[in-house]
């Protein structure tokens, strides 16, 4: 095996009471692609800071191969005294580095280099920090949540750029597809220690579940052994006192082992407080348009959203995704066109910028409004500490001010706020930001069980594929198109990725070169989209058959061609189209039914 470029051994670090790290290790050799995974608060970012040399451990050793260059991308960007983005990127270059790389990478990331650092948005600051990390072409890249605040265009560019580089990588990210695409080894940080497999993230979750299941079995065996030892000491032969003393010491050791065992962190329990059902029609937008000055955001867009739909809105930052959602739910009026909202709508929203969180309020006040210590969920009163526990907050955090929370904790708090509101329409703007993978799993489950309608803005391709059954994409000049299915389905139908024009505007040669949609990891269960399709396809097929029967009855009239040639042509075209739609629906239903049976039979 190649010698490590960077190595951490027996790293220990304690903040306050329970150790954050206790014997953690990390080793990365030339060209290795390692993803570092674990729960929010498990110490991933801290371990990466120790690897970068910006934090010193209480115990353990850090080794970096002499001459190896290390570049670290932190979650929070500090621009220091750099006046512009170009100044900031150039400050990260060494004496022998190519200064042109700073300008080139900023251009690739959509920046000019002239942007004042004090006026940058979150996405612009992230792109400048990525350019600074990549510009020296380092031997080792330590990247902490590189996709945060980036749009799909930039995420896909970054994925391609990192794949083409020779640098060794250590990645922390909540983006499953990003990790699956780039990682070739996985380090799991859990309860202060690290475990490693020399396989990418695609194999991690099954391996993690096996490890936790084996731990449960070992704890069960330990419990039974303690019971057996206690029974022997109470009822064993009294003449064997010396052996009793020895076994008593062994029993004390077993009890201490059980007492000090740190079980896996509890799981998040997400559940939305649902209002009465909305009408079958949630909203109907008819030829709406919106512009700010000469900049057209939405032009002549129409859609109809029914109860139970899960609609994802994707596109580059600045395309107008949030504006489009505000138009659809009626919080912002269109310049022209109409939006008709359905009956009995109760809307709950999650703001991308977490603007509704008062930084000086405590966690408990943020959830209760400061009026009591109770939260009402689904019509049931619940103590705020119990509701906090569902979102992995400790009881002592009830009085913690919001500004002291980590990014992941603020994300969970905003989710807790939004889901506590009675709703039948959830509007989620970047809900996956700063959430760990386990929390994303539970959020997906909650959305699949939610009886209402969901409008979702996200740059997480895997999350979109698992959750939504429709995607709205900008096509430029204010035009938006709606596609059935998830993100990968949209790519298949569109014939291009989100960086390029729609299929109708792409030359044949470009279509042939268009990348195939990314494949998600093998499924262990049906996604919401698939379950929804299994439920609705039979009704759709019956509707197609009824349409075909009605059209056939009309065409059976031998005089139709003579009496009304136009109607005959229309009916002939319509019945041919209905047959195609029926065949497609039948094939899809059969495919899903086979998939369901395979999953149920294991």
Residue 188, phi then psi, degrees to nearest 5:
-105, 115
Q: What is the pLDDT of residue 272?
A: 57
DSSP string, 204-253: HHHHHHHHHHHHHHHHHHHHHHHHHHHHHHHHS-TT-HHHHHHHHHHHHH
518 annotated as belonging to a binding site for a ligand: no
- In this prediction, residue 398 has a pLDDT band, given cuts at 50, 70 and 90, of confident
The CA distances from residue 570 to 109, 551, 567, 575, in Å, are 50, 10, 5, 9
Instruction: Determine how β-strand 59-64 pairs with β-strand 33-37.
Output: unpaired
Q: Residues of 283-313 as b/e, b for ≥16 C-beta within 10 angstroms?
A: bbbeebbbeeeeebbbbebebebebbbbbbb
Percentage, residues of the chain above pLDDT 90: 36
320 annotated as belonging to a binding site for a ligand: yes
Residue 336 DSSP one-character state: E
Which of 159-173, 243-257, 382-396 is the most confident on average?
Answer: 159-173
pLDDT digits (tens, 9 = 90+) for 94-114: 888 999 999 999 999 999 999
8 A C-beta contact, residue 548 and residue 578: yes
Residue 516, pLDDT > 80, answer: no
Best CA proximity match to 39, nearest among 420, 411, 468, 357: 411
318 annotated as belonging to a binding site for a ligand: yes
Residue range 402-418: mean pLDDT, rounded: 77
Residue 6, pLDDT > 70, answer: yes
pLDDT-wise least confident of 228-232, 299-303, 377-381, 483-487: 228-232
Residue 357, phi then psi, degrees to nearest 5:
-85, 120
8 A C-beta contact, residue 347 and residue 275: no
Q: What is the CA radius of gyration of the chain?
A: 28
pLDDT-wise least confident of 354-368, 388-402, 415-429, 518-532: 518-532
Q: What is the pLDDT of residue 290?
A: 94
- Grouping H, G, I as helix, E, B as strand and the rest as coil, residue 470 is strand
Residue range 59-70: mean pLDDT, rounded: 94
Residue range 155-178: mean pLDDT, rounded: 93
Residues 6+ apart with CB under 8 A from 323: 290, 297, 298, 332
pLDDT digits (tens, 9 = 90+) for 565-600: 778 778 877 887 888 788 778 778 777 877 777 777
Instruction: Determine how β-strand 70-73 pairs with β-strand 19-29.
Output: unpaired
49 annotated as belonging to a binding site for a ligand: no
pLDDT digits (tens, 9 = 90+) for 195-221: 999 999 989 988 988 888 887 777 766
Average pLDDT of the chain, as a whole number: 81
- In this prediction, residue 514 has a pLDDT band, given cuts at 50, 70 and 90, of very low
Q: What is the pLDDT of residue 91?
A: 94
Residue 243, pLDDT > 60, answer: no
Residue 474, phi then psi, degrees to nearest 5:
-75, 140
Residue of higher predicted confidence among 387 and 291? 291
Q: What is the pLDDT of residue 594?
A: 77
Residue of higher predicted confidence among 448 and 187? 187
Residue 56, pLDDT > 90, answer: yes
Sheet hosting strand 59-64, strand order edge to edge: 19-29, 4-14, 59-64
479 annotated as belonging to a binding site for a ligand: no
Residue 480, pLDDT > 60, answer: yes
- Long-range interactions of 325-330: CB distance < 8 A, separation 24+: 325/427, 325/429, 325/455, 325/457, 327/285, 327/288, 327/290, 327/298, 328/283, 328/285, 328/303, 328/455, 329/283, 329/425, 329/427, 329/455, 330/283
Residue 337, pLDDT > 70, answer: yes
Residue 520, pLDDT > 60, answer: no
Residues 6+ apart with CB under 8 A from 243: none
- In this prediction, residue 160 has a pLDDT band, given cuts at 50, 70 and 90, of very high
317 annotated as belonging to a binding site for a ligand: yes
Q: What is the pLDDT of residue 584?
A: 79
- In this prediction, residue 19 has a pLDDT band, given cuts at 50, 70 and 90, of confident
Q: What is the pLDDT of residue 536?
A: 84
Residue range 156-185: mean pLDDT, rounded: 93
Residues 194 and 179: their CA atoms lie apart, in Å, by: 18
Q: What is the pLDDT of residue 254?
A: 56
Residue 225, pLDDT > 70, answer: no
Q: What is the pLDDT of residue 302?
A: 94
539 annotated as belonging to a binding site for a ligand: no
Residues 207 and 36: their CA atoms lie apart, in Å, by: 14
Give the N- to C-terminal CA distance of the chain in Å, as an integer: 37
Residue 216, phi then psi, degrees to nearest 5:
-60, -40
Best CA proximity match to 285, nearest among 431, 472, 456, 418: 472
Residues 189 and 168: their CA atoms lie apart, in Å, by: 19
319 annotated as belonging to a binding site for a ligand: yes
322 annotated as belonging to a binding site for a ligand: yes
Residue 229, pLDDT > 50, answer: yes
- In this prediction, residue 378 has a pLDDT band, given cuts at 50, 70 and 90, of low
Residue range 169-188: mean pLDDT, rounded: 93
316 annotated as belonging to a binding site for a ligand: yes
In this prediction the pTM is 0.68
Residues 179 and 489: their CA atoms lie apart, in Å, by: 21
Residue 140, phi then psi, degrees to nearest 5:
-130, 130
44 annotated as belonging to a binding site for a ligand: yes
Beta pairing partners, 63: 7
Sheet hosting strand 453-457, strand order edge to edge: 347-350, 425-429, 453-457, 310-313, 470-476, 479-484
Residue 287, pLDDT > 70, answer: yes
Residues 275 and 265: their CA atoms lie apart, in Å, by: 31
| Angle at alpha carbon of residue 222, lines to 218 and 225, rounded to 5° | 140
Q: What is the pLDDT of residue 145?
A: 92
Residue of higher predicted confidence among 266 and 140? 140
| Angle at alpha carbon of residue 129, lines to 127 and 134, rounded to 5° | 95
Residues 207 and 197: their CA atoms lie apart, in Å, by: 9
239 annotated as belonging to a binding site for a ligand: no
Across 74-164, the runs of DSSP E, i.e. the strands, are 140-144
Beta pairing partners, 362: 401
Residues 188 and 35: their CA atoms lie apart, in Å, by: 8
Residue 364, pLDDT > 60, answer: yes
Residues 238 and 400: their CA atoms lie apart, in Å, by: 55
- In this prediction, residue 228 has a pLDDT band, given cuts at 50, 70 and 90, of low
pLDDT digits (tens, 9 = 90+) for 414-445: 878 777 778 889 898 888 877 777 778 778 87
Residue range 209-236: mean pLDDT, rounded: 68
Residue 189, pLDDT > 80, answer: yes
Neighbours of 360 (CB within 10 A): 9
Beta pairing partners, 73: 143
Q: How many residues does the chain have?
A: 602
Q: What is the pLDDT of residue 328?
A: 94
Neighbours of 105 (CB within 10 A): 21
Residue 140, pLDDT > 80, answer: yes
Residue of higher predicted confidence among 538 and 225? 538
Residue of higher predicted confidence among 517 and 262? 262
Q: What is the pLDDT of residue 233?
A: 56
16 annotated as belonging to a binding site for a ligand: no
DSSP string, 372-390: -SEEEETTEEEEHHHHHHH
370 annotated as belonging to a binding site for a ligand: no
8 A C-beta contact, residue 302 and residue 287: yes
């Amino acid at each position: 095996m190649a010698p490590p470029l960077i190595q951490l051994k027996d790293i220990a670090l304690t903040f306050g009471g329970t150790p954050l790290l206790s014997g953690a290790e990390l080793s990365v050799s030339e060209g290795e692609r390692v993803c570092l995974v674990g729960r929010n608060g498990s110490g991933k970012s801290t371990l990466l800071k120790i690897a970068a040399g910006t934090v010193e451990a209480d115990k353990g050793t850090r080794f970096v191969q002499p001459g190896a260059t290390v570049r670290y991308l932190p979650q929070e960007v500090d621009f220091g005294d750099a006046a512009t983005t170009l100044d900031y990127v150039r400050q990260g270059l060494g004496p022998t580095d190519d200064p042109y790389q700073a300008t080139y990478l900023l251009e690739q990331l959509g920046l000019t280099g002239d942007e004042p650092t004090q006026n940058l948005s979150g996405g612009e600051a992230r792109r400048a920090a990525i350019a600074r990390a990549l510009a020296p072409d380092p031997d080792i890249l330590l990247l902490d949540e590189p996709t945060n605040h980036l749009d799909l265009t930039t995420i896909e560019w970054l994925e391609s750029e990192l794949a083409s580089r020779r640098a060794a990588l250590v990645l922390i990210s909540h983006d499953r597809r990003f990790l699956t695409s780039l990682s070739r080894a996985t380090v799991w940080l859990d309860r202060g220690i690290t475990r490693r497999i020399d396989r990418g993230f695609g194999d991690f979750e099954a391996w993690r579940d096996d490890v936790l299941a084996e731990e449960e079995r070992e704890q069960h065996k330990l419990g039974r052994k303690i019971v057996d030892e206690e029974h022997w000491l109470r009822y064993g032969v009294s003449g064997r006192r010396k052996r009793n003393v020895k076994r008593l010491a062994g029993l004390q050791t077993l009890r201490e082992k059980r007492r000090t065992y740190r079980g896996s962190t509890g799981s998040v329990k997400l559940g939305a407080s649902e209002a009465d059902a909305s009408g079958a029609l949630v909203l109907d937008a008819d030829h709406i348009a919106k512009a700010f000055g000469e900049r057209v955001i939405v032009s002549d867009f129409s859609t109809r959203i029914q109860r139970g739909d899960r609609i994802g809105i994707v596109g580059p930052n600045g395309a107008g995704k949030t504006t489009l959602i505000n138009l659809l739910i009626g919080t912002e009026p269109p310049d022209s066109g109409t939006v008709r909202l359905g009956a009995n709508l109760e809307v709950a929203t999650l703001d991308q910028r977490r603007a509704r969180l008062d930084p000086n309020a405590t966690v408990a006040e943020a959830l209760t409004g400061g009026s009591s210590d109770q939260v009402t969920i689904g019509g049931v009163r619940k103590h705020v500490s119990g509701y906090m526990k569902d979102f992995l907050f400790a009881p002592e955090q009830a009085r913690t001010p919001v500004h002291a929370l980590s990014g992941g904790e603020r994300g969970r708090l905003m989710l807790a706020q939004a889901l506590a509101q009675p709703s039948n329409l959830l509007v989620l703007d970047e809900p996956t930001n700063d959430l760990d993978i386990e929390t994303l799993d539970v959020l997906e489950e909650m959305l699949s069980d939610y009886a209402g309608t969901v409008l979702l803005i996200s740059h997480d391709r895997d999350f979109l594929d698992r959750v939504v059954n429709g995607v709205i994409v900008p096509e430029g000049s204010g035009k938006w198109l709606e596609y059935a299915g998830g993100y990968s389905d949209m790519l298949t139908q569109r014939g291009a990725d989100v960086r390029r024009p729609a299929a109708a505007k792409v030359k044949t040669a470009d279509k042939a070169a268009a990348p195939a949609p990314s494949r998600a990891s093998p499924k262990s269960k049906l996604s919401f989209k698939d379950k929804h399709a299994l439920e609705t396809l039979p009704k759709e097929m019956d509707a197609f058959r009824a349409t075909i029967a009605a059209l056939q009855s009309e065409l059976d009239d031998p005089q139709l061609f003579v009496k009304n040639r136009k109607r005959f042509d229309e009916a002939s075209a319509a019945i041919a189209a209905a047959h195609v739609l029926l065949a497609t629906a039948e094939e899809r239903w059969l495919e899903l039914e086979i998939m369901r049976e395979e999953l149920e039979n294991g």
